[in-house]
Amino acid sequence: MGGGGKGGSQSTKVEIPAWAERAMQENLRKASAMGEIGYMPYYGPDVAAFSPMQEAGMQGAYDAAAAYGLAAPGGDALAGMPQAQEFAGGIRGYSSGDLFEQARAEFEARNPRQAAQYNRFFTPYGTEETNPNFSSPGQDGRPPGYPDYLPWPPRFDMGSFR
């Protein structure tokens, strides 16, 4: 008396075109090679510094408060502020680049084996002067730990990896 379930089965086959498969394989090779690069830190200004006029205004307000006994005489309105760095074009600001370097050095000091394991997957960071774990490239210029199955040097031609 029940119905249904007596029909035939149906299947669908999806084929990826050869041109799309080649493009996907090329993109995977490119992604693998780019993954070897590692983190690229930013050393430019993250936050703008106070202008000289702003600093003078804050100091003037502080001195006025001190004149009325509301603040300690001779104090510095900017006490506790780090020294601003000057960047290209005279831009003054603060950068987190040095904090990154400190954190990286601290990680390597506290976890040298883990840091070595992590770093072996990437192109050496910095230079011989800035990175104590930097090792010179091999005879063919290939960075230490660079996989033999990837071409060296990597070549990019109009966005395609060879």
Least confident of 49-58, 68-77, 128-137: 128-137
Element (H, E) at 88: none
- pTM greater than 0.85 (yes/no): no
Q: Quick one: pLDDT at residue 27?
A: 92
d(CA 131, CA 104): 10
**Distances from the Cα of 119 to the Cα of 34, 130, 147, angstroms:** 15, 15, 14
At 81-121, the pLDDT tens digits run: 999 999 998 899 999 988 888 888 898 889 888 888 887 77
Q: Backbone dihedral region of 73: left (phi > 0), alpha (psi from -120 to 50 degrees) or beta?
A: beta
Q: Quick one: pLDDT at residue 96?
A: 92
Q: Quick one: pLDDT at residue 64?
A: 96
Q: Quick one: pLDDT at residue 161?
A: 45
Residue 90, SS3? Answer: helix
**Distances from the Cα of 96 to the Cα of 48, 99, 101, 117, angstroms:** 12, 5, 9, 25
d(CA 152, CA 162): 10
Mean pLDDT of all residues in 12-35: 90
**Distances from the Cα of 42 to the Cα of 39, 45, 46, 100, angstroms:** 10, 8, 9, 9
Q: Quick one: pLDDT at residue 48?
A: 94
The percent of residues above 70 in pLDDT, for the chain, comes to 73
At 135-159, the pLDDT tens digits run: 655 666 666 555 666 666 665 454 5
Most confident residue range from 2-6, 69-73, 113-117: 69-73
Mean pLDDT of all residues in 25-37: 87
d(CA 1, CA 72): 98
Q: Quick one: pLDDT at residue 73?
A: 93
